Amino acid sequence: MKINKLPLIMLGVTLSCAGAPQMCFDKAGRDYGIDPLLLVAISIKESRLKSDAVNKSNSDGSEDVCGMQINSSHYGKLEKFNITRERLLKEPCTCVYTGAWVLARNFNSYGRNWDSVGIYNAGPSIELIKTRRNYADHIRRIYRVLLAQKNITDERLALSTASAPVQGDAEKPAVNNGK
């Protein structure tokens, strides 16, 4: 029997998100109008949230850096924002913001859809449509697990808040039984 380890891996990864604190994903998501959990899902897939990740094995000779695996093809455009390879590797929040910027550009150019998420990894070439779809499907699975985790956490928080004792005078009973 094959066991899907993805939910366990993602739970561990999201609980130890030291490389790029959740607030970076939240802020970048808010600023670019993207669900922060989608950005986290991409970072999990791309680097397992490893902020200093470097991939130099792309078939076209380019490299991908940082937790969001920003491709070197973007370096020229990023120069005008004073974002360098070194900053991407040393500043996790800059990396997350840059990943959000890339994804937002895809959404603006190709629509807010899973194909645009696939373009984040494979680019827009029609020859790479299968690669894009496979990538987007993987991101979608990770994203769904993250959403489920968030919903469970939110429900538990709501339940614990709802069942919390009523604040009041400790000398008076909370319920008056007519006595």
**Chain CA centroid to CA 42, Å:** 5
Most confident segment among 15-19, 57-61, 105-109 = 105-109
Which tens digits make up the pLDDT trace of 1-38? 455 554 444 434 443 344 457 899 999 999 999 999 99
Helix/strand/coil for 54: strand
pLDDT reported for residue 157: 85
Record the tokens describing residue 57, joined without a space. Answer: 């094995």
Question: Residues of the chain with pLDDT > 90: what percent?
Answer: 72
Q: What is the mean pLDDT of residues 75-80?
A: 97
**Beta carbons within 10 angstroms of residue 138's beta carbon:** 18
Least confident of 4-8, 64-68, 144-148: 4-8
pTM for this one? 0.79
Q: Please determine, for residue 140, whether its predicted confidence score (pLDDT) is greater than 50.
A: yes
Under 8 Å between Cβ of 43 and 120: no
What count of other Cβ atoms lies within 10 Å of the Cβ of residue 59?
A: 5
Residue 4's pLDDT is: 52
pLDDT score, position 154: 87
pLDDT interval class at 167 (50, 70, 90) = low
Give bridge partners of residue 70 from the DSSP assignment: 65
pLDDT of residue 56: 96
- Rounded CA-CA distance 96/89 in Å is 11
Give the residue, 81 or 3, on which the prediction is more confident. 81
Mean pLDDT of the chain: 85
